[in-house]
Amino acid sequence: MSAKANTTLLEQTYWQLTDVERELVNASAPDQDQWTFQMERRDDGMWQFSMPEYKTKNELLVGGTEQIMDDIYRSMSEVKADRYSTMEVTVSRIPLEEETTTLTWLKEDRKNPGSTYWLDEVTGKQAWLSPWLKLCWDPAPELMYIHCEITS
């Protein structure tokens, strides 16, 4: 095994960090109005993204968010998303010039502190977002404006 591969195995990812270490990673993120992610769909139907600079690898969209991503992909491409599907997704706390949808904050998840529920204004479906969102904004905005572009 190469030294690089060995180092990669030893690196902790975001959810393996302690609360204090996660707070430090969150604090290292710039205060910006929008973030752009490269999303890819896995074989099991889940969407994921990675941001190695913030110790984030294969962060899954779950709790209804993956279904919203499927709906967005299908409405933009007119085909069902599969394991080769990818999108560039921009999430913003200020209105975008072009918006695919808007998420409206609904409530905190009492069972999972830091997690939140949102309403997708286009599909009418509920999305669940993990506390990872605090890396981008803490506190979270009441509205998140989303723009998606299909990349494959």
Rounded mean pLDDT, 113-140: 96
Q: In the chain, where are the structural domains located?
A: 3-150
Quote the pLDDT of residue 23.
Answer: 93
Q: State pTM to two decimals.
A: 0.89
Q: Rounded to an integer, what distance in angstroms lies between the CA atom of residue 108 and that of residue 93?
A: 18
Query: With bands split at pLDDT 50, 70 and 90, how would you rate the model's confidence at 79?
Result: very high
